Structure 1
Amino acid sequence: MLKLEECINQFIEQESLPKTYLDTALNWFTPLIEEISLHHNKAKRTVFIGVNGCQGSGKSTMSGLIQNILENVYEKSCLVLSLDDFYLKKSERQTLADDIHPLLSTRGVPGTHDTQLIASVLHSLKQGSPSLIPRFDKSIDDRSATTLHTKILEQIGVVIFEGWCWGVPSQANEQLSTPLNDLEKYSDQTGEWRNYVNRKLQNDYMPLYRYMDKWIFLKAPSFDSVYKWRCQQEHKLLQKVGNKAEIMSDREIAEFIQYYQRLTEHSLCTLEFISDWIFELDNERTITKSAHNAK
């Protein structure tokens, strides 16, 4: 068993994070992790934690930290699931694009994930049955071969499920009538795409939220932050790979994130009222304050 600070410092080194992340972890996240541990002790079963945050908000890093501390300090088994790994296969999304709307070939929004597979995995984990966790390879825009999937054979103590639209409620129909960006204005003139996405969210995703015991929300200052953070990610990637062909330009990012705008803005208006823990971020992704909604 590791001591808390030792565990965090190892995680910082492993993830190449700034040393200031130690203070972030100690001040903001360790009280949360202690509460998750206590909740698991009391529940005496697998506990599910849902995590929502827009692109680039740090949800994957935070989830990894929680897993690291639970396993190495509290000696609890922990599994992190990402909504991104449950995307439909490329061929399946192309079928949706052909049959329903061309925009559905692009992964991201509700309707482009295999919700039946999500339900099956969550059910197996809840029962403590053997589970096969899929992996999605973004470099080929398709699901990885089954041989690369992760086999879970034992009962897991804490399951963390993170995703950019995970936990977001559907919108009222009247909210869908007016397009809010150029993508919706010119590529979804009839509103068929956004109405389909909303129906899938309501009918296929929201019923899965009942598996979650607690919710964590990383709240960005605004949707503008998504553009800034995605640009930073791509610039960092360019320094790493040194090949412009492998990254998106700032203009391409601006176009790409329009797919996510509607539900990201909806989450910023709704999730702080229904989540258990809320961490508010500034434009530099620094946590400025937190709230805990006792339920």
Structure 2
Amino acid sequence: MQAVTPSQETAERILQFLLPQIKKHQTRREMTGSRKPFIFGLTGLQGSGKSTLAAALVNTLSAIYGFRTITISLDDFYQTWKDRNALRVSQPSNDLLRVRGQPGTHDIELAEWFFSQFTTETVPKQIGIPIFDKSFFDGDGDRLPPSLWKHVEAEPPVDVVVFEGWCLGFQPLSKDALQRRWSDAMESQTLEKAKMLSNHSLEDLIFVNENLAIYCAHFMGPQHLDCLVGLDAMDLFNVYIWRQQQEDVLRRTKGSGMTDEQVIQFVDGYMPAYELYLDSLREGFFPKGSQKLQLHVLLNEQRTVTKMEPL
């Protein structure tokens, strides 16, 4: 008998909450003739194990429950290294663009194209799944050419798409709210509370916020997802530990990756977004009264689940 891994066990626990919704979606799809898959959103802090859990969810949904399931990462929608580097050159003072990841560094048209493959009137022979390789350019990464993407047959239709990403579930603030958060951070004397947010100009934060609004409108807002599972940390500092562990593995397996110093700089770039948007995500992603389910999963330093509850 094959041993059950922690990620598989977590996937099983999550699916006990979400299987009824997936089955209802499948029933409605069969009744209407729709091809639209159930879009399973998976969000989480850097290094929290999103990709590993996404793979376990795909395996469990496919092998145990018989749903034709694929996964896609927000990372796979990154702009090419050339385009991201050009963006950095065009905004040399924006420290948030020194590393990949911020809203504004992804290819929106590519994301829209990917999801359109499931609902287009002309059914493609294969579903193309873009791939981003994080090991290129000393850990800065680059998108692989289409000839190296993964492809799956379009028939029978895909039942579930597990869509994972670090800022999935973040929703933009109003300009006034963003201004207030930044002003409070600049005036705060509590470094633990505000040091990352106060290290950046209001203009740079507005750039991220405006691009996040575009993302939500086009492919990752509440209207685009059928559920959302969020991997959260008991201590936000764990993000640094988790990310260093992942880069250690990347260096061993692929021969390149970020150094510990680069990891710290990398994670520092994500902290302002966590300060701006995590509270809202924890309060609830879907509108009040929505039938869609958001599941909050709390992890300790060892990435072990300590709490799992619907919001």
* TM-score, normalised with respect to structure 2: 0.77
Q: Structure 1: 5+ residue runs without aligned partners?
A: 1-5
Distance (whole Å) between structure 2 residues aligned to residue 60 and residue 213 of structure 1: 19
- 1:184-227, Cα deviation, whole Å (9 max, x unpaired): 62xx4x43322101110012334422221111111112321101
Alpha-carbon separation, structure 2, partners of 1:100 and 1:164:
23
Corresponding residue for 2:142? 142
- Whether the 8 Å contact between 1:93 and 1:105 is mirrored in structure 2 is no
Distance 1:206 1:176 in 2: 24
Which residue number corresponds to residue 171 of structure 2? Answer: 169
2:197–2:271 CA contact under 8 A, matched in 1:
no
Deviations 1:111-169 (A, max 9, x none): 00011211121122234743422111222222111101123441211111100011211
Is contact 1:183-1:259 (8 Å) kept? no
Aligned to 2:82: 91
Match of 1:199 in 2: 210
Task: Tell whether 2:225 aligns with 1:220.
Answer: no
Aligned length: 272
Superposition RMSD in Å? 2.7
- Residue 133 of structure 1: aligned partner: 129
Which residue matches 1:270? 280
**Which residue of structure 2 aligns with residue 292 of structure 1?**
310
Q: Counterpart of 1:3?
A: none
Give the structure 1 partner of residue 112 of structure 2.
119
Aligned to 1:158: 160
Deviation at 1:48, TM superposition (A): 0.7
1:234 corresponds, among 247, 250, 256, to: 247
CA drift at 1:94: 2.4
Rounded Cα–Cα distance in structure 2 between residues aligned with 1:216 and 1:230: 20
Matches within 5 A, 1:95-106: 95-101=86-92, 102-103=94-95, 104=97, 106=99
State the shift of 1:23 in Å: 4.7
**Contact kept? 1:218, 1:279, Cα under 8 Å:** yes
Query: Do the aligned partners of residues 43 and 65 (structure 1) sit closer, same or farther apart at CA in structure 2, a change above 3 Å counting?
Result: farther
Change (3 A) 1:264 1:251: same
Match of 1:65 among 56, 60, 66: 56
Deviation at 1:270, TM superposition (A): 1.9
| Shift in CA distance, 287/134, structure 1 to aligned 2, threshold 3 Å | same
Distance 1:227 1:74 in 2: 35
| Gaps in structure 2 of 5+ consecutive residues | 30-35, 187-193, 286-293
For residues 65-119 of structure 1, give each alpha carbon's deviation from its aligned partner in whole angstroms, at most 9, with x where no partner exists: 1111111122111110101111101221222223334543531111000112111
Query: For structure 1, which segment, 139-148 or 75-84, has the greater mean C-alpha deviation from structure 2 after superposition?
Result: 139-148
Report deviation, 1:183: 8.7
2-side partners of 1:105 and 1:125: how far apart?
34
Q: CA deviation at 1:272?
A: 2.6
